[in-house]
Structure 1
Amino acid sequence: MTTLDKLLEQKDDPMRKMLQRQMLKTGMTQAANTKLQTVRSALKPKFQMSAIQEELNEVYTALLYSFEGKAQKAMAERISESAQQIVRTEAEGEAFVNSFRTR
């Protein structure tokens, strides 16, 4: 059975403290990584537009062919701008989600 003196000696042992500190750091890093994965998986779908992309394409196609001449050209430009904005939104969302790091 360990005596109180032996326990006090172990308490001040620098190697023991270093080992405990390393174990604590490893445990905290693992917990943080687990929580980070939860946050990433919750945020990722918020920035993905692929779910509504097909519906948008149908609406854009119907709009585009309901105009003629200059109006059709203007509508095509607006649709193109919207598509580019969707692509940027997805890319920025992906970058935002991937920017979370643990130390």
Structure 2
Amino acid sequence: MQTLNDLLEHKDDPIRKKMQLQMLKVDMTQTTNSKLQVVQKNLKTKMEMSTLQTELNEVYSALLYSFKGKAQKALAQRISESAKLIVKTEQDGETFINSFKTRNT
């Protein structure tokens, strides 16, 4: 282990300073990346729509078979539009989550 005298003796050494700065950058990048992964994981679970989709599919199926003819076709069209919105929302959420990046310098 270095003593205080050793540290003070090399305090103005530019090579040592550069090395310490590089070590600090590496450590900060690793810490930031690990924290970012935690944030992304938490956001992903919050924005996940698979449980909602399952419920909606059950409701849509029940509704769809409750109607016949033109009403059933109109309902099927609206259900299709809703499904497209859900897919778009999931894609937007995924894009949002993946937009968080760390700067590697």
Relative to structure 1, is the Cα distance of residues 7 and 69 closer, same or farther in structure 2, using a 3 angstrom cutoff?
A: closer
Q: Deviations over 1:13-52 (max 9, x none)?
A: 1100000000110111011011101100110012211122
Q: Any idea what the Cα deviations from partners look like across 1:55-74, whole Å, max 9, x if unmatched?
A: 21111011111112221111
Aligned residues: 102
Gaps of 5+ in 1: none
Structure 2 Cα separation of the partners of residues 77 and 55 of structure 1: 18
User: Are the aligned partners of 1:44 and 1:97 in contact in 2 as well (CA < 8 Å)?
Assistant: yes
What SS does the corresponding residue of 2:61 show, helix, strand or coil? helix
The whole-number CA distance in structure 1 between the counterparts of 2:68 and 2:7 is 88
Structure 1 length-normalised TM: 0.89
**Range with bigger deviation, 75-84 or 43-52:** 43-52
Equivalent residue, structure 1, for 2:57: 57
Consecutive aligned runs of 4 or more in structure 1 exceeding 3 Å deviation: 1-4, 6-9
| 1:23-102 → structure 2 map (5 Å cutoff) | 23-102=23-102
User: What TM-score, normalized to structure 2?
Assistant: 0.87
Unaligned runs of 5+ in 2: none
Q: Is the 8 A contact 1:33 1:102 kept in 2?
A: yes
Change (3 A) 1:27 1:3: closer
Shift of 1:3: 8.4
RMSD of equivalent CA atoms? 1.9
Alpha-carbon shift at residue 7 of structure 1 (Å):
4.5
Give the Å deviation of 1:9: 4.3
For 1:26, the aligned partner's letter is V
Amino acid at match of 2:97: V
